[in-house]
Structure 1
């Protein structure tokens, strides 16, 4: 039996929400918070906040840059290379 953290209703089923008040059970809330914190950790905003809040901003920036570089595979580096070549080619044509 699950007991609702909001209203105290005891539910014999394995529902994720309380049938009385509609609030989520604590395990679901913990899972959602974990997913949100993981997304924040790997998002651009989260990386930016860690750099801004760091005492040594240069070291924090280098650490984040190394993490980003480590996450890019060979196909990603090839795509970045093609984009730079294309942009260089466009600039060379215009000039």
Structure 2
């Protein structure tokens, strides 16, 4: 039995919205809030803000780099390394 948090309507079916008032049930609201929180945590702007607000910026950069690299596969790490080497080689040949 689901009970609507807004109007109190009870239903036996597993629906996301209340058939009476149209508001979302609490589980859907929790999932939406969790998704928004995760998105804010992993955005570049949030990462940079954490680094700039840290007292020890060197340690903060290291921590963010470790968090970023922990989420990458070996194939992605290799691709980033190849790109870095290619760009470095281009810069060295121009200078």
What TM-score, normalized to structure 1? Answer: 0.73
Question: 1:89: Cα distance to partner?
Answer: 4.8
Which residue does 1:24 correspond to in 2? 24
User: Root-mean-square deviation (CA), in Å?
Assistant: 2.4
Which residue does 1:58 correspond to in 2? 58
- Alpha-carbon spacing, 1:62–1:6, altered in 2? closer, same or farther (3 Å): same
Structure 1: runs of 5+ lacking an equivalent: none
Which residue does 1:8 correspond to in 2? 8
Question: 1:44: Cα distance to partner?
Answer: 1.7
Q: Residues 32-73 of structure 1: CA distance to partner in whole angstroms, max 9, x if unpaired? A: 212221222222223223223434333222211221233333
What TM-score, normalized to structure 2? Answer: 0.73
1:33 aligns with 2:33: yes
Greater displacement, 76-85 / 10-19: 76-85
Q: Residues 70-92 of structure 1: CA distance to partner in whole angstroms, max 9, x if unpaired? A: 33332123212322343345453
Question: 1:12: Cα distance to partner?
Answer: 2.8
